[in-house]
Amino acid sequence: MNTTKLNTFQNSWYQPGGNALSRVLWYTCNALIMKSGLPGSSWRAFLLRVFGATVGKSVVIKPRVSIKYPWRLRVGEYTWIGEGCWIDNLGNVAIGAHCCLSQGSMLLCGNHNYKKTTFDLMVGEITLEDGVWIGAQALVAPGITCHNHSILTAGSIATKNLDAYGIYTGNPAVKVRERNIEE
């Protein structure tokens, strides 16, 4: 039987974007500023834009948010990113307008191929279409699209695409009902 051999792991094919200096500057800003407990959203949005993110108007970014690579991030207007969210965007992440990422939620673009002895890195993009709600402590796996107004409930894990207006729960998340939005 084969075994995992982490000493053979290499991901030299992966290109994070930005140059070495911009990555070092961003890591520093992310660690000292974005992940701080300091209140305020507009200065966080400004900082993300400076580092290449596309951030729509009136986006709320709470304290202790961590973003791997801002140049791989698009956020639509009126979206809320809750306290302690982690956007581990090794791949591109597109978040639509009027979305809510509740506290502690995670968008995870990278994973490893457990079937290979070399434990190869795998990267996938994540798309949250307009009106999506990702519950507290929920996780969206690489390569997933959460279609318009879908909900991933607290603590759930999306390993497959979420249908528009579907409400999903569990690990792995399964659809439990339709979302009806009243005026």
DSSP, res 161: P
For 133-170, the pLDDT digits (tens) are 999 999 999 999 999 999 999 999 999 999 999 999 99
Position 78 in a domain: yes
Q: What is the CATH number of the domain that holds 23?
A: 2.160.10.10
Position 61 in a domain: yes
Domain count, the chain: 1
* CA pair distance 16, 90, nearest whole angstrom: 7
Q: Which helix (H) or strand (E) holds 54?
A: strand 54-55
Position 48 in a domain: yes
Name the residue range of residue 35's domain: 19-138
Q: Which of 112, 114, 22 is nearest to 68 (CA)?
A: 22
Position 9 in a domain: no
Position 23 in a domain: yes
For 49-96, the pLDDT digits (tens) are 999 999 999 999 999 999 999 999 999 999 999 999 999 999 999 999
Whether the CB-CB separation of 157 and 169 falls below 8 Å is answered with: no
Q: What is the pTM of this model?
A: 0.95
- Strand-pair partners of 133: 100, 151
